[in-house]
Amino acid sequence: MTLLEVSGMQAFYGRVQVLDDISLSVPDGGAVGILGANGAGKTTTLRAISGSVRSSGDIRFDGKSLRGLRPDQVAALGIAHVPEGRGTFSDLTVRENLRVGAYLRRDAKQVQEDIDYCLDLFPQLQNRVRSNGSALSGGEQQMLAVGRAIMARPRVMLLDEASLGLAPSTAKTVYKAIGRLRQESGIAMVVVEQNANLAFTLVDSATVLEAGRNVLTGSTAELKGMDEIRRAYLGG
């Protein structure tokens, strides 16, 4: 059954329309990719879902409409948004950053377990737990951002350009860890990526945006087969 259903979504910046009739469907435990060039509306789509950008159209999570909810209310429903640029809290230590992620939870004991899980998932963070977010490398900040999302025990995770500005090897590590997370936790995922190769390692299906519209939607296998996709996004 579908966990997150977006249909006919529109969004504006000022008088500029950035999203036009976007639709998206994420099954429970599934992973959907959003591909597209810069400015195609990928990030805005995620922001609209998490409520950081006003939008019209219909967004349903587990059957409930998200219309008019604030980002923190959306998060409370179990949607964790890993924003573009990671949104690390520079003055907080790694541990504190993770605890902010668990803000909505009351189960102190499991929170501790989840922190350990994050550190196990991203070993690079282990010897940095006491250092400030601002002191981390880009890759570590990205891992921290994902970790913060994990701490919320979400049902769906919105990943925005997790590979942005990372060395290819680091990007791979990050995606490997996320892949492992997906298997172990069964969290559903919406993955925005410019690097389709990376995205395809994670998602079962994907939609391609151009100028704020879905132009193409299909399973990973189908999409991989299409040569325009190969040309545009797989550098093949």
Task: State which residue, 142 or 220, has the beta carbon closest to another protein.
Answer: 142
110-149 residues near another protein, rule: CB under 8 A: 132, 134, 148
- 54 binding another protein? (CB under 8 A): yes
* Sole binder of another protein in the list 21, 64, 67, 100 (CB under 8 A): 100
* Sole binder of another protein in the list 50, 141, 207, 220 (CB under 8 A): 50
- 57 binding another protein? (CB under 8 A): no
In 3D space, the residue among 156, 113, 122 whose CA is nearest the CA of residue 140 turns out to be 122
- 109 binding another protein? (CB under 8 A): no
Longest dimension (CA), the chain: 50
- Least spacing, CB of residue 57 vs another protein, in Å: 13
**Interacting residue ranges for another protein, rule: CB under 8 A:** 11-15, 47, 50, 52-54, 70-72, 75-76, 80-81, 83, 87-92, 96, 99-101, 103-104, 132, 134, 148, 151-152
